[in-house]
């Protein structure tokens, strides 16, 4: 058996989830913590990679000890990990899964959100947690963003929304929903769910929507931009600090503990 962890983290101090040379990743910290919790070396595998500075509200990762049964009941793991993890990473739920379960390849999709602090006045409490856009987005400009976001929905080739230089050749993805909402008294949020995402895809989508709001890109041109498969026609890549992996979707009946 494996243990599937659901974790939250603030990505500001990390180079992303996946281990890299000469930089600290969330995977490094989680692997070290798992060894301390279980008392043996552990293999930690994540549901995806995240860029430096990107955050997570519901990232999933499996833990394997190679020692058979786990020494701590799954319902107590959040308490055990809280003793050994830094305060910017937290285990919020856990479940037992089968040996053939893979957090990445068993996933059927993911939901990301991108948070925008749209105000003439910067909010220091949002520093590193959202993109600062120095103008309120509402009314007609918000309606244009909503129209543009709706054009992302469907099975399409998103080459135009992939980072230049990416080596991925299968660039077709199915976006099931894409919409905007406002947190109560707070950020404007772009939410997008899909069966998979290309490198920087959500950040480019968010940057494109910002350029729609600013009048640099026509909201009606999104389908044409997608059809062009030309990265230069889409908007800028929005900064990483606004991006959060919110949820990973699985078909399997995951028995989360509801910790």
Which alpha helices (DSSP H) does the chain contain, by range?
26-38, 77-82, 139-150, 201-213, 222-228
DSSP class per residue in 26-45: HHHHHHHHHHHHHSS--EEE
Q: Please, what is the angle between helix 201-213 and helix 139-150, to 10°?
A: 140
Runs of H (alpha helix) within 161-221: 201-213
Check 32, 51, 157, 195 and give the catalytic one: 51
Q: Give the Cα separation of 228 and 186 in Å (integer).
A: 35
> What is the rounded CA–CA span in Å between residue 70 and residue 169?
40
Evaluated on CA atoms 54, 56, 59, 64, the torsion sign reads positive
- Cβ-Cβ contacts under 8 Å for 101 (sequence gap 6 or more): 2, 4, 62, 252
Q: Is 51 a catalytic residue?
A: yes
How far is residue 174's CA from residue 157's CA, in Å, rounded to a whole number?
9
- What positions carry a catalytic annotation? 51
């Amino acid at each position: 058996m494996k243990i599937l962890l659901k974790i939250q983290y603030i990505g500001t101090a990390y180079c992303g989830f996946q281990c890299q040379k000469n930089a600290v990743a969330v995977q490094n910290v989680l692997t070290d913590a798992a060894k301390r919790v279980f008392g043996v070396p552990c293999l930690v595998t994540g549901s995806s990679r995240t860029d430096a500075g990107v955050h997570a509200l519901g990232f999933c990762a499996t833990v394997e000890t190679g020692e058979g049964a786990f020494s701590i009941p799954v319902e107590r793991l959040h308490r055990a990990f809280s003793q050994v993890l830094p305060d910017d990473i937290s285990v919020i739920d856990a479940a037992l899964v089968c040996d053939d379960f893979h957090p990445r390849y068993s996933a059927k999709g993911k939901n990301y959100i991108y948070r925008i602090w749209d105000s003439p006045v910067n909010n220091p409490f949002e520093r590193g947690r959202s993109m600062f856009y120095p103008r309120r987005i509402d009314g007609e400009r918000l309606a244009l963003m909503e129209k543009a976001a709706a054009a992302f929905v469907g099975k399409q080739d998103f080459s135009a929304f992939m980072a230049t230089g990416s080596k991925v050749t299968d660039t077709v993805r199915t976006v099931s929903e894409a919409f905007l909402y406002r947190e109560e008294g707070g950020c404007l949020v772009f939410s997008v769910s899909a069966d998979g995402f290309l490198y920087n895809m959500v950040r480019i989508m968010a940057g494109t929507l910002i350029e729609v709001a600013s009048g640099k890109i026509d909201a009606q041109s999104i389908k044409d931009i997608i059809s062009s498969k030309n990265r230069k026609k889409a908007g800028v890549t929005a900064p990483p600090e606004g991006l959060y992996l919110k949820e990973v979707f699985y078909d399997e009946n995951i028995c989360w503990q509801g910790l």
